[in-house]
A and B are shown apart, each in its own frame.
Chain A
């Protein structure tokens, strides 16, 4: 591969890393800032799929271009995260609803029930 292509790929890897890091940070900001449990579930789910996904794609691209042959084992983690993120989020939502059944109505009205503000 010639120099120009490598420079473009380098820029692409850098952009993917920054997007991934930004989504990871925003997911945690959501975890801190949202008002009750079910809303807080929303933030880190984006961090796990978009954030870590972008970082892993950047890593796959980097090792594919920097070495001989294709590096695809990062895709393994990406696929695993895409399969498991909904399962764990579903179980956590079920646990939250079991601990506080009043949350059921609050999802539709999108406001915290009494006693659920921090």
Chain B
């Protein structure tokens, strides 16, 4: 199969990379700590989308495991940082 998907894939990947750049701008800019956590979370999710696209482009399933681990650790990281802001420690 080599048609629409392979044609569209670079455009979609470029859109996700642009989204990651915008999230990185918010990560550096702030202004509140919650904005930075939110930007990190968005970066994790965009990385998952980008890895899945790379997997489709290379036609292998090896990138899937990486995407799954990034999704899991991204959630844990977001929860840990938010809990730290909420009560000064991660595990009560």
Contact = CB atoms under 8 A, between A and B. Distances in A.
Contacts, number: 165
A81 B15 CA distance: 21
A22 B45 contact: no
A81 B4 contact: no
Main secondary structure of the interface of A (DSSP, over half): helix
Contact residues of B: prevailing secondary structure: helix
Instruction: Please classify how large the interface on chain B is, using the bins under 10, 10 to 19, 20 to 34, 35 or more.
Output: 35 or more
Interface of B: 1, 3-5, 7-9, 11-13, 15-16, 18-20, 22-23, 25-26, 29, 31-35, 37-39, 41-42, 45-46, 48-49, 52-53, 55-56, 59, 61, 64, 67-68, 71-72, 75, 78-79, 82-83, 85-86
